[in-house]
Amino acid sequence: MAPGAVRRARRRARGTPPAGARAQSARSAEDWWWDRLAPSGSGYHLLQSDSMLLVLPDPGPVRAQRRAPRRAPRPQLSGTRAAARPKPAPTPEQGPDSGWGDRIPLEILVQIFGLLVASDGPMPFLGRAARVCRRWYQAASQPALWHTLTLLAPQAGRPGKDGAKAEKKLLTSLEWLMPNRFSQLQRLTLIHWKSQVHPLLKLVSEHCPRLTLLKLSDCHGVTPDTLVMLAKACPQLHSLNIQHSMVESTAILSFLEEAGPRMRKLWLTYSSQTTAIVGALLLRPCSQVLRLLNLMWLPKPSGRAVTLSPGFPGLEELCLASSTCNFVSNEILGRLLHDSPNLRLLDLRGCARITPAGLFDLPCQDLEQLHLGLYGMSDRLILIKEGSPLLTQKWCHSLRELDLSGQGFIEKDLEQALAAFSTIPGSSHPPLCSLNLRGTRVTPSTVSSVISSCPGLLYLNLESCRCLPRGLKRAYQGSEAIQWCLEQLLTSLPSAS
C-alpha cells in the first residue's frame, strides 16, 4: 500500500471530524439557544439587531440558515461512493429583514415618543427620530407630540451678525411647521426675538388655537394689536409671562381687557407703567397667580380716604420679590390681598417693610408657602424685629415651606415662633417640610426642638447662624442629614439643659 493511502486510513480510524461537520455542530448549538428562548409552537419569535435581541409575539419569518463558506468543487467520484452520497436539498432564498422598528405598532411608538418628549421636550429628539425610517417619521409627525415649543432667535448674543435676516429665514420655515406640526401647540416660549415677533405671533394665532401659555423673554416689538389678536384667536390662553421684555403697557392693558376672567397667571417685571397695570388688574380681578418682580411702588400720599378695589378673589399665588430694597408696605399688601381668602403662596423676599403684624391681618387662613427672606442685604441694614410668633400661630397648621432668611428676629422671639409647631391642636405632626433660617439668631435648643417636632422636615438651612456651634452652619437636605444634625446638636447642648 502506498504511504499516502496509509496516512488517510489512519486519519479515518482516529475519527477526526471534517470542517463541514464542525460548522454543522456550531449551527446546531445556535439553534439550541434560539429554541430555548423561543421554542416552536410557543407563539413567540426572536428578532436580532446590532445591540439587542427582542422576543415578540406571533410567529415571525423563518430564520435563514447561515450559509457555509464556498469551497472549491471536489472532483467527482466514480462508482458506488458517488452513489452513496445524496445531494442536499436547496434552501429557499429569503428577502432582507426590514428591521424590528417597522413591526412596532404606530400607537405604541407614539406613546414611547410621548414619554421622551415629556421629559426632554420635542426638539431635537423628534427631528432626529423622523430621519430613521418611514414608520418613525410617521410617528414623529403626530401633532399631539408637538405641544411645547421654545424658539431661541438665531444669532442671539452675536451682535456682529444680521439678526433680522436670520429671524426672517427661520420664520419662513415656521410657515410650514405651524400648520403641519404645531396645530396642537399649548406652551410657547420666545427668547431674544427682536424684529419678527409680530409675524410669528400672527402665525401662532392662525394655526394654534389650543395655546394656553405664552412666555416672552427679552423680546422687543410687542404691540397692542399683537396681544389682542392672540387673545381673540386662542380662547384657552390663560397664562402670560413677559418678564424682561420690552412690552408697552397699553399692550398689556388691551390684552387683559380682551382675555377677561380666564387669566390665571401673569408674570411682570418692574417698569414705569407697573402701577397702571396693577390698577387695571384691581379693576378686573381675574388672576390666580400674580408675579411682580422688582416692584417699586411709590404711591402718592392723599388726604382723601382710599376706596378699596374688588381685589383678587381667586388669587392663589402672589410674588412681590425684589433683588433690591423696595417700598412695598403693609398698606399696599393689604390693598392687594384684602379679598383673597384662597391664597396658598406668598413670596415677599426683599420686602423689608413688611411686618408680621401686617401679615397677621391678611384674610388667608391656609397659607402653605411663606417666603420672607432678605437676600443681598448687609447685617448693618437689618433692623431688629419682633412678632414672628404671630406668623406661626396663624399658619402652623398649614405651612409647608417657611423662609425667614436674614430676618432680624431676636433669639427669644424665634424660640416662641418655632415652638408653635410642637403644639398643633388636632394634628399629630405639622406639615412643615422646608425651613430656611439662614443668617438668623436661632439657638441650638430651638433648632433641636423644631427638628423633633417636625418629622417630615426635608430641608433645613442653618448657614451663617451665629449662635450655632461650628461645623453645623450649613444646609441639610434629606431626613438622614437632618437627623444627624439633631444628634450633633443634642451632644453639644450643656447637660443642665
267: left (phi over 0), alpha (psi -120 to 50) or beta: beta
Q: Please choose, from the candidates 250, 239, 249, the residue with its C-alpha nearest in 3D space to the C-alpha of residue 271.
A: 249
pLDDT on residue 484: 93
**Beta-ladder partners of 57:** 44
User: Residue 138: which residues within 8 A CB-CB, separation 6 or more?
Assistant: 106
What does the pLDDT profile of the chain (497 residues) look like in tens digits? 566 665 666 655 555 555 555 545 545 655 666 666 666 666 666 666 555 566 666 544 544 444 555 555 555 555 555 455 556 655 555 545 555 666 778 888 888 888 888 887 787 888 888 888 888 888 888 888 888 888 888 765 555 456 778 888 888 888 888 888 888 888 999 888 888 888 889 889 989 889 999 998 888 888 888 888 888 898 888 888 887 787 777 787 788 778 766 777 777 776 666 666 666 666 655 556 666 655 544 444 444 555 555 667 778 888 887 766 566 788 878 888 888 888 899 988 888 888 899 999 999 999 999 999 887 555 444 566 788 899 998 998 899 999 999 888 989 999 999 999 887 765 567 889 999 999 999 999 999 999 999 999 999 999 989 889 988 999 999 999 999 999 999 887 764 34
Cβ count near 253 (within 10 Å): 19
pLDDT on residue 276: 65
What is the distance of C-alpha 357 from the center of its chain? Answer: 37
DSSP 262: G
Strands 401-403 and 475-477: unpaired
Which phi and psi (to 5°) does residue 53 adopt?
Answer: -130, 115
User: Residue 405: which residues within 8 A CB-CB, separation 6 or more?
Assistant: 372, 373, 374, 375, 436, 437, 438, 439, 440, 461
Reading the block at residue 246, the C-alpha cell is: 420690552
pLDDT on residue 497: 41
Q: Domain residues of the chain, as ranges?
A: 102-145, 376-497
pLDDT on residue 283: 60
